[in-house]
Amino acid sequence: MTLKLHTHREYLELMEELTQHDKRYYDDNRPTISDYEYDRKLHLLIQYEKEHPDQIDPNSPTQRVAEAPTEGFVQKAHKTPMLSLANTYSEKEVEDFIHRVHKLLEKEKVDFCAELKMDGTAISLRYEKGKLLHALTRGNGRMGDDVTANIKTIHAVPLTLKGSFPESVEIRGEVYMSLAIFRALNAAREEEGFEPFANPRNSAAGSLKLLDPGEVTKRKLQIVCYGISEDLSSALTQGELLEQIKTWGLPVSSPKHRAICHDLKEIMHFAEKIHQERDALPFEIDGIVIKVNDLKAHALLGATGKIPRFAVAYKFAPEQAMTKINDIVVQVGRSGVLTPVAELAPVLLAGSTITRATLHNQEEIVRKDLRIGDWVWIEKGGDVIPKVTAVDLKKRARDSKPWHMPEHCPICKAVVIQQEGEVAVRCPNPHCVGQRMRSLLYFASKQAMNIEHLGEKVIEQLVEKGLVSRASDLYLLDEASLLQLDGFKEKSARNLLKSIAASRQCLLSRFIMGLGIKYVGTETAELLAEEFRDLDTLMKAQADDLVAIEGIGEKTALAIADYFHHKDHREEIQRLRTHGVQPQPLKKKMASHPFGGKTFVLTGALAHYTRDKATCCIKERGGHVSGSVSKKTDYVLAGEDPGSKYDKAKKLGIQILSEAEFTQML
Ligand code: IVH
């Protein structure tokens, strides 16, 4: 690894390389190296620029704005610039930061507030007279993209601040995606043939830039706030400021994730504690941020360029390991998507032995230039299985050859296809055993029918022995057939039969999930079960009925209607029922309430309810919520600044409820 740049040529080469990485990161949301690698390279560049200030190239990433404006969004100015933090991986540099602060403030004792460094994307929320005016991304620091409509999909962001607040304030924070949502999103994307996101941060940043807020809602973004743009609050310290932001109704990090530290030792102790807890956190962090606790000192300390002197980010180096790609095998997903997987020489990484890493798709392999026999770096990101981050070309065998996706499905040998605009290559054969196996595994999985003891190995054998080829066959299995499977004894056979039998009385939402309808994940399955309450009604629904449900987009509605239209699917559902599977309709709740059977449309901002909460209140009382006003609408619940739905309701003579009337009726 290069430790220092020596010549101007080396400097220009590295500058060019980093520019490429910036493009992949900011424009494509598809970085090909880890942050750690990037920071290490950038550090070399900065070092060279410090030593040769006369040679700084105007195109250097250190001189350029971080983020280009995004098409489709209006750019607006930040009240005060959004700066970025100085990053370090070294304890020594944290020590230097502390000394610098002491010196500049001419104080012997300075308190620091150490917090989590959330790994998401920065946001600035501007409130005027307590009302959310707009939400801007950092952009180039002075101007950001107006992503207000998308931010409003985060229910934790209040449209109106609570308590007493300044006339005008910009609250700064981080928008992030939880690991659970990120993993589910990536699994669905791969299954649907889309490029998976590299990590939760890229998926949060990418989601914020979607042009359809309906799609953003599904991404379930979250937010945590960590500061304000100017000293406008009565808080004296960073700790107090966070508590103040909380009283305005915005989420801040939990007190157990911050600490007041008095010296380097205490800061390192906090960093170590957080490092140990890191794997158990439901979201990703990439280090800690250390801030001077006294807010008045922030202004005194000022900034160097775009970097303030009051804080520093101490980042955790990712755990990496080097290993060899022994082979690249291809897995077939339930919808036929082929995924290349690297079989690795076993290596220890973050406490577990790693033998496989997903390579996602052919494009990814080409981009990273990976070949069988290569020595590669692997790293644990947000995904459960690690990813290959880089290849050591110096160790490449001379006779190695580029890898290509097979032209035939590795299981059924059908000729594979690639649809236009998709990165995924698919096996087009609906009877492919590989696809069937994956569909069965999905049917039995925890989030669907939850059939215990029915894992990959068992399903593989059941299919190979011709005992099961579709889900309904599971319900015909008996002890004698299970005893044919490797490792099965009477007890294990009985346990599996018991779990299969128990799944006959499943929840309707789980049954819908198990069918594996395109674009239908847990959330949509639950929504469908709640809306339709029984399978027959759902099976009869037309795309139009489905799209009227808030939370179901056109693409999903079409996929659902299409699925139930298919003769094979209807027959399989009938077989499952004949074999005793009885999806449990949800009981009608509070059926006698006046909301029972009524259809509501929500418009405008409600002061005391989030959209979710209002929807929940209606549904609990037997009502439905629809996304658009039609003759079938019974009530329109109108909050502040209602939109065109309000006008349409008036035109159609539909009863409009104010928030107060709604509360009273509840
Ligand atoms: S304070 C001058 N505190 O880290 C900037 N930033 O460049 C002050 N971040 O994307 C930022 N967690 O959004 C601060 N507890 C925290 C943070 C945090 C994450 C992000 C920030 C920005 C990057 C810093």
Q: How far is the CA of 457 from the centre of ligand 1 (A)?
A: 45
Residue 564 inside a domain? The answer is yes
Residue 1 inside a domain? The answer is no
Supply the CATH number for residue 548's domain. Answer: 1.10.150.20
Phi-psi region of 82 (alpha: psi -120 to 50; beta: other; left: phi over 0): beta
Residue 154 inside a domain? The answer is yes
Is the same domain home to 350 and 449? no
The residue from 23, 50, 117, 645 that is catalytic is 117
The per-residue b/e assignment along 449-483, b for 16 or more CB within 10 angstroms, e otherwise, is bbbebbeeebbebbbeeebbebbbbbbebeeebbe
What pLDDT, on a 0 to 100 scale, did the predictor assign at position 88? 93
Is the same domain home to 184 and 228? yes
The model's confidence at residue 564, banded by pLDDT at 50, 70 and 90, is: very high
Is the same domain home to 21 and 85? no
Q: How far is the CA of 288 from the centre of ligand 1 (A)?
A: 9
Residue 216 inside a domain? The answer is yes
Question: Domain range spanning residue 145?
Answer: 75-315
Q: Which helix (H) or strand (E) holds 574?
A: helix 567-578
Which DSSP string do the residues of 186-215 spell out, in sequence order? HHHHHHTTPPPPSSHHHHHHHHHT-S-HHH
Is the same domain home to 640 and 501? no
pLDDT at 41 over 70: yes
Is the same domain home to 293 and 228? yes
pLDDT at 589 over 70: no
Residue 378: name the closest of 616, 28, 36 by CA. 36
Is the same domain home to 582 and 595? no
Evaluate: CB of 525 within 6 angstroms of ligand 1: no
Residue 563 inside a domain? The answer is yes
Supply the CATH number for residue 244's domain. Answer: 3.30.470.30
Residue 470 inside a domain? The answer is yes
Is the same domain home to 324 and 371? yes
Beta-carbon-side half-sphere exposure of residue 306 (alpha carbons within 13 Å): 16
Identify the three-state secondary structure at position 320: strand
Average confidence (pLDDT) over 116-124: 96
Which of 24-28, 53-57, 87-91, 358-362 is least confident? 24-28
Is the same domain home to 394 and 444? no
Higher-pLDDT residue of 384 and 359 is 359
Domain end, chosen from 425, 454, 486, is at 425
Is the same domain home to 193 and 268? yes
Alpha-carbon distance 128 to 483, whole Å?
A: 70
pLDDT at 662 over 60: yes
Q: How far is the CA of 85 from the centre of ligand 1 (A)?
A: 6
Which of 4-13, 232-241, 319-328, 423-432 is least confident? 232-241
Residue with CA closest to ligand 1 atom 7: 84
Alpha-carbon distance 266 to 279, whole Å?
A: 22
Higher-pLDDT residue of 150 and 550 is 150
Is the same domain home to 394 and 364? yes
Residue 249: name the closest of 125, 137, 359, 339 by CA. 125
Residue 480 inside a domain? The answer is yes
Cα 454-512-470 angle, rounded to 5 deg: 45
Is the same domain home to 413 and 494? no
Identify the three-state secondary structure at position 339: strand
| 88, 117, 241, 257, best to mutate for ligand 1 pocket (most atoms within 8 Å of CB) | 117
Residue 420 inside a domain? The answer is yes
Cβ neighbours around 178 below 10 Å, total = 18
Average confidence (pLDDT) over 363-369: 90
Mean pLDDT for all residues in the chain: 90
| Residue 117 annotated among the catalytic residues of the structure | yes
Q: What is the identity of the amino acid at 372?
A: I
Domain end, chosen from 315, 339, 369, is at 315
Strands 303-304 and 307-308: antiparallel
Alpha-carbon distance 267 to 2, whole Å?
A: 30
Average confidence (pLDDT) over 263-269: 97
Which of 345-359, 465-479, 557-571 is least confident? 345-359
Question: What distance lies between CA 106 and its chain's CA centroid?
Answer: 44
Residue pair 78/141 in contact by the 8 Å Cβ criterion: yes
Q: Which atom of ligand 1 is nearest to the CA of 173?
A: 13
Supply the CATH number for residue 340's domain. Answer: 2.40.50.140
Q: How far is the CA of 122 from the centre of ligand 1 (A)?
A: 7
Average confidence (pLDDT) over 220-249: 91
Residue with CA closest to ligand 1 atom 17: 117
Domain end, chosen from 531, 563, 586, is at 586
Residue pair 571/515 in contact by the 8 Å Cβ criterion: no
| 26, 38, 80, 85, best to mutate for ligand 1 pocket (most atoms within 8 Å of CB) | 85
Q: How many domains does the chain have?
A: 5
Query: In terms of pTM, does the model score above 0.85?
Result: no
Residue 204: name the closest of 187, 171, 181 by CA. 181
What pLDDT, on a 0 to 100 scale, did the predictor assign at position 2? 63
Supply the CATH number for residue 648's domain. Answer: 3.40.50.10190
Cβ neighbours around 56 below 10 Å, total = 16
Is the same domain home to 145 and 250? yes
pLDDT at 590 over 60: no
Evaluate: CB of 191 within 6 angstroms of ligand 1: no
Residue pair 288/271 in contact by the 8 Å Cβ criterion: yes
pLDDT at 622 over 80: no
